[in-house]
Structure 1
Amino acid sequence: MVNKLFYRKYFAASLAMIMFLSLFAGINKAEAETVGLDVKASGAILVDADTGMILYEKNSETALGIASMTKMMTEYLLLEAVKKGKVKWGQEYVVSPELSKMSHDEDLSNVYLRVDAKYKVEDLYAAMAIESANAATIAIAEIVGGSEAKFVEMMNNKAAELGLEKYKFVNSTGLNNSDMLKHFPEVVGEPDEENIMSAKDVAALASRLLHDFPEVLETSSIPEKIFAKGTEDEFVMDNWNWMLEGYEDIADRYPNYQQFVYDGLDGLKTGSTPFAGYNFTGTASRDGQRFISVVMNTGSQSERFRETRKILDYAFNNFKKEEIIPKHYQVKGKKTLPVTKGKEKQVKIYTKDAVNMVVKNGEKDNFKTSLILDKKKVNKQGELTAPIKKGEKVGTLSIQPKESGNLGFLTKEGKITVDVIAAEDVEKANWFVLMMRGIGGFFGDLWGGISSTVKGWF
């Protein structure tokens, strides 16, 4: 009896040990499923930056507090205004007494701004992106929008334009409105309201920011910079993103930063308030692959970076860029299209470019294609009309998973497609050839009718 009990305990302990070791051994293997990715956050998402394809998500469509991740929208609107020539990097902003007072609020992230002092837009932008300086952010909002209230309206309008779905902006900074009211008499929204977005929409905003203004990474990747260097306002700005490399000179202030440093990570924005918790939108690139991750409402400053590492490790260990469709690929059964009024009666078609996309290890062949012809180019009989030029677009090829429901995107419009083009020229036939074809067709139809009638007699 004792021996049996001993062996049962021994077997159970051995089994438990095997399961424990298997768990850790399997974390970095390709077969690890996203359901096993235990991310300690109220909302999270992982996407391929190139396509917006969702690779992992947890409660990604619930609107949560975003805190200073808000500043990504402020960055977008500023960079857009600069691109359109409405704002210049060298133009100066004069600080009001209210804004100066706010910049000296020790409870908020800031760089010090003096009353009536002038600061360049490029310096205010750096302060917002690196130090997450709130007063500098409001200054940018006033530069771009004319006022904080008008800028908030622009933020919500831009969110709608970008196709975001679950969001609400009440200020340019991400602070709770109660912090704004300490220094300004009026706010947009309720006195204790904050900005909210879903993790999916935060990732979509980050994706558009990277695609439309990739230069944002030049600033977001700076670990330390001096604001107003050489003046009485000189201020050492430390990036709140501890996953960046380059903190060696300030290791005494952040002695444990090295545990968070992540190879290839160069952005994007942190944020925290009591309401929002600790958030982080991260992005990292290795060997031509870039991923975007978002974690929302984690428990601490350190945890948001640990959870981001967990998500990005999952991405780089389990996904890689593969050529799914080669250049000049031809769809089986649709290698040519019929042509009307041409010297040739058909034309070869193929894809203009190769399709490279991030896929999970071992799932390269788990996709199917769908040819969609341009309705403006083909008639009701599915024919192209000559003349046709080599390289002329005739449709698109859509790439989809063989099993439905496996391929999601940040926006409704998201999909993987490639142009399908004509592989050769087809000249228009001259009038005589067209006439003879018409005559031949007429007599062919006539003879066909007679033949049918004669057959009917017998």
Structure 2
Amino acid sequence: MFFNVKRVCAVVAVTLFLNFSLALVQAPTVKAADAPVDLKLEATSAFLMEASTGQILYEMNADKALPPASMAKMMTEYLVMEAVKSGKFKWTDMVTTSKYAADVIGSGDLLAEGEQETMDDMFAALSIYSANDAAVALAEFIGGTEENFAKMMNQKAKDFGLSDQAHFINATGLSRADLGKYAPKELQGETMLTAKDAAIIAYNILKDHKEILKYTSTPSKKFREKDKTPMINWNWMLAGNKDNVNFKRYAYEGLDGLKTGHTDEAGYCFTATAERNGMRLISVVMGTKTEPKRFDESRKVLDYGFNNFEMKQVLTAKTEIDSLKTVNIKKGVGTEVPVVTQTGITVVAKKGAKPEEFLITAAPLEDSSKLVAPITKGQVLGTVKVTYGGKEQITNLIATDDMEKGSWIRLFFRAIKNFFVDMLHGSKKS
């Protein structure tokens, strides 16, 4: 038998071509990673976070430590509000202005040595007018000395999990040179924060002391009723400035905080927060060249967040999960208990995200000792996890009904039934 060499070669060539083509069709496509977003910011660093989850939406040089100027006062604000909430102090407590507080340079110049004002009025001056004198007076009132208060700030920085570069030497954010003879003796270096650090402080303020927005959203206020001119909020982007002839071009819908800052070393900085359509964002911009520029660049960062992301409720409370509608229970009147979600799960998602992009997985508790009757309604029996974009959120699965412990006779006959069922299954397999 003779082979037609040309025909064989042709068949082989066609076969190889078809197999190669099929491999190309069947090969999984590898999606390229999203390219880093370039907002063309005229700033040294920037950061964007969603306020309820802490999810990072944008960052640029966000781990670079820089002088934060008055943005450092966010930590001062946190500690003041914490001191009041703990019951150690009251907003009506009178705070006396020391010589140092009266002498401190920079924004403020509201207080005279020996003057007494309430904690609430001092806090308003700190939060609305970024008053250095009020910041020092409050720090001394709570910490005994400003340096002791700065040590409290550094401890809170550790509690928040800020970077190792985060450091405070005073309550105002002023440099050591600016403090002159009032510079701290024990604390060395300068006050430094990264953009991410500043956002985390803002995140904790909004989580634990959202009442701060009552102050930071105020465009202007008289410090004393007898004062001829009010304190003007340094935050030009406040939504409340929409009708202000001087600031309306900067006013931003939903923006109600949080803290500006400026020194020669820091440039112009701004930690902003705004809420739209149920989503609150926190942005940080550090090191811009001019005062207007810090607001222009903040607008770019916030616009990016609001234009590209939204809050997506994936699960609601009391929802049944298809993959785990019931959980097996030992020694109960019944053998399983229906479960539902304890709380809902809402994630920050890109606008237009498809349902299949949200992976929902559920599982009973690994600790089987907690899956034994009696079971009470609302008892945690498992967890459900939503995964999106590599981020996970978890809520509990809880019992919808009580489950009493079964009587010994019920459990005895159930054991016998299970024994014979197991034997029957075993014999079929063999």
TM-score by length of 2: 0.84
Measured in 1, the distance between the counterparts of 2:100 and 2:424 equals 93
Measured in 2, the distance between the counterparts of 1:302 and 1:135 equals 25
Query: Which residue of structure 2 lines up, in the alignment, with residue 60 of structure 1?
Result: 62
Deviation, 1:287, is 2.4
Pick aligned residue for 2:383 from 389, 396, 403: 396
Deviation, 1:36, is 3.5
Alignment of 1:79-158 (within 5 A): 79-102=81-104, 105=105, 108-158=106-156
Q: Give CA deviations for 1:71-125 in whole Å, capped at 9, x if unaligned.
A: 11101100011011111212112222333222xx4xx111332122212211111
Q: Rate the CA distance shift 1:375–1:142 in 2: closer, same or farther, 3 A.
A: farther
Higher RCO (C-alpha 8 Å, min separation 6): 1
Measured in 1, the distance between the counterparts of 2:311 and 2:243 equals 36
Measured in 2, the distance between the counterparts of 1:276 and 1:342 equals 66
Query: Which residue of structure 1 lines up, in the alignment, with residue 26 of structure 2?
Result: none
Residues 203 and 282 of structure 2 are in contact (CA less than 8 Å); yes or no, is this contact kept in structure 1? yes
Aligned alpha-carbon RMSD (Å)? 2.6
Does the alignment pair 1:181 with 2:180?
yes
Deviation, 1:440, is 4.5
Deviation, 1:222, is 0.8
Measured in 2, the distance between the counterparts of 1:98 and 1:144 equals 15
Alignment of 1:307-346 (within 5 A): 307-346=297-336
Q: Where does the alignment leave 5 or more consecutive residues of structure 2 unmatched? A: 1-33
Pick aligned residue for 1:283 from 256, 273, 276: 273
Letter aligned with residue 52 of structure 1: G
Residues 176 and 183 of structure 2 are in contact (CA less than 8 Å); yes or no, is this contact kept in structure 1? no
Q: Rate the CA distance shift 1:248–1:323 in 2: closer, same or farther, 3 A.
A: closer
The runs of at least 4 consecutive aligned structure 1 residues that moved more than 3 Å come to 185-190, 245-251, 326-333, 372-376, 438-449
Measured in 2, the distance between the counterparts of 1:291 and 1:273 equals 25
Pick aligned residue for 2:259 from 269, 273, 279: 269
Moved more, 169-178 or 335-344: 335-344
Deviation, 1:207, is 1.0
Deviation, 1:54, is 1.2
Measured in 2, the distance between the counterparts of 1:444 and 1:259 equals 77
Measured in 1, the distance between the counterparts of 2:380 and 2:256 equals 37
Query: Which residue of structure 1 lines up, in the alignment, with residue 18 of structure 2?
Result: none
Measured in 2, the distance between the counterparts of 1:444 and 1:186 equals 78
Measured in 1, the distance between the counterparts of 2:185 and 2:91 equals 27
TM-score by length of 1: 0.79
Alignment of 1:211-230 (within 5 A): 211-230=207-226
**Identity of aligned pairs, percent?**
40
Measured in 1, the distance between the counterparts of 2:240 and 2:394 equals 39
Query: Which residue of structure 1 lines up, in the alignment, with residue 234 of structure 2?
Result: 240
Does the alignment pair 1:77 with 2:67?
no
Measured in 1, the distance between the counterparts of 2:102 and 2:425 equals 91
Q: Rate the CA distance shift 1:375–1:321 in 2: closer, same or farther, 3 A.
A: same
Letter aligned with residue 320 of structure 1: E
Deviation, 1:439, is 4.3
Deviation, 1:318, is 1.6
Measured in 2, the distance between the counterparts of 1:373 and 1:169 equals 46
Measured in 1, the distance between the counterparts of 2:39 and 2:78 equals 31
Look up the SS of the partner of 1:259 in the other structure. coil
Look up the SS of the partner of 2:199 in the other structure. helix
Q: Give CA deviations for 1:180-207 in whole Å, capped at 9, x if unaligned.
A: 125x2644534xx431122222111111
Does the alignment pair 1:367 with 2:358?
yes
Q: Rate the CA distance shift 1:323–1:246 in 2: closer, same or farther, 3 A.
A: closer
Query: Which residue of structure 2 lines up, in the alignment, with residue 10 of structure 1?
Result: none
Q: Where does the alignment leave 5 or more consecutive residues of structure 1 unmatched? A: 1-31, 408-414
Does the alignment pair 1:298 with 2:295?
no
Q: Give CA deviations for 1:192-231 in whole Å, capped at 9, x if unaligned.
A: x431122222111111101111110000011111112226
Deviation, 1:156, is 0.9
Measured in 2, the distance between the counterparts of 1:328 and 1:250 equals 47
Residues 373 and 404 of structure 2 are in contact (CA less than 8 Å); yes or no, is this contact kept in structure 1? yes
Look up the SS of the partner of 1:35 in the other structure. coil
Look up the SS of the partner of 2:237 in the other structure. coil
| Count of residue pairs brought into register by the alignment | 395
Q: Rate the CA distance shift 1:371–1:165 in 2: closer, same or farther, 3 A.
A: farther
Measured in 1, the distance between the counterparts of 2:341 and 2:306 equals 29
Letter aligned with residue 278 of structure 1: Y
Q: Rate the CA distance shift 1:373–1:44 in 2: closer, same or farther, 3 A.
A: farther
Query: Which residue of structure 2 lines up, in the alignment, with residue 195 of structure 1?
Result: 191
Measured in 2, the distance between the counterparts of 1:364 and 1:278 equals 40
Deviation, 1:246, is 4.0
